[in-house]
Amino acid sequence: MVVQVLAGFVSAVAFAFIYNVPRSEIFRTGILGGLGWLTFSLTKDAGGEVGAMFLGATSVALCSELFARRYKQPVIIFLVPGVIPLVPGGRAYLTMLSFLQHDYNEGVTLLVSTFFLAGAVAAGIIIASSIFRVYSRAKYVRRQL
């Protein structure tokens, strides 16, 4: 698992380079990549794959919002490389492979689980960002009063 968390770190750093994240923030995006995979592997047995994916994405998105405010950077600088290791690319690949081998039963099963995993990642991002949006809106309203 340590190796996998490290791989999550490296893949996030790699994406940070591919999308040209500012050099000063690259290490932090790596931490988020590792964090996402760590949360996912720790909760996978207890919460099931989809639930673990949701928690992983939520933790990454929450920390991205925190980092963005702390270091005065746009949120997507942290969020994009951070969630990349969680994207269910492997499942999508196996789906395509099953369809190619005319194994439609397996293909549809994998397709549905790919959709659920991708949905879990999206839901994690949406919920974490919404929490921060409500919070900053509340702060804004309070300042107006």
Partner 1 sequence: MEKLVGMVLLAGELLLTCGAEMYRVEETIERMGISAGFAQVESFATPTGLFLSLHTSDGRVYTRVRRIRRSFSNLALISEINAISRSFSSGETTIEDVTTRLKGLKKEGVPHNFLRLLMGGMGAAAFTVLYSGSGIEALIAGIIGLIILLIDNKLEDYPIPNALVAAVGAAVAAGLAKGAALLLTINTNVITLGAVMILAPGVVMTTAIRDMLSGELVSGVTRGAEALSIAVGIATGVAIILSMGGN
Q: Which residues bind partner 1 (CB under 8 A)?
A: 3-4, 7-11, 13-22, 25, 37, 72-77, 79-81, 83-85, 87, 89-90, 92-93, 96-97, 100, 122, 125-126, 129-130, 133
Report which residue type is found at 43: T
Query: Could you count the other beta carbons within 10 Å of the beta carbon of residue 13?
Result: 20
Minimum distance, C-beta of residue 81 to partner 1, in the bound complex (Å)? 7
DSSP secondary structure code for residue 86 in this structure:
G
Which residue, 20 or 105, is less far from partner 1 as judged by CB?
20
Minimum distance, C-beta of residue 70 to partner 1, in the bound complex (Å)? 14
How far is Cα 7 from Cα 38, in angstroms, rounded to an integer? 11
DSSP secondary structure code for residue 143 in this structure:
H
Minimum distance, C-beta of residue 46 to partner 1, in the bound complex (Å)? 21
Minimum distance, C-beta of residue 72 to partner 1, in the bound complex (Å)? 8
CA proximity to 40, closest of 81, 92, 87, 97: 87
CA proximity to 49, closest of 126, 125, 113: 113
Which residue, 4 or 51, is less far from partner 1 as judged by CB?
4
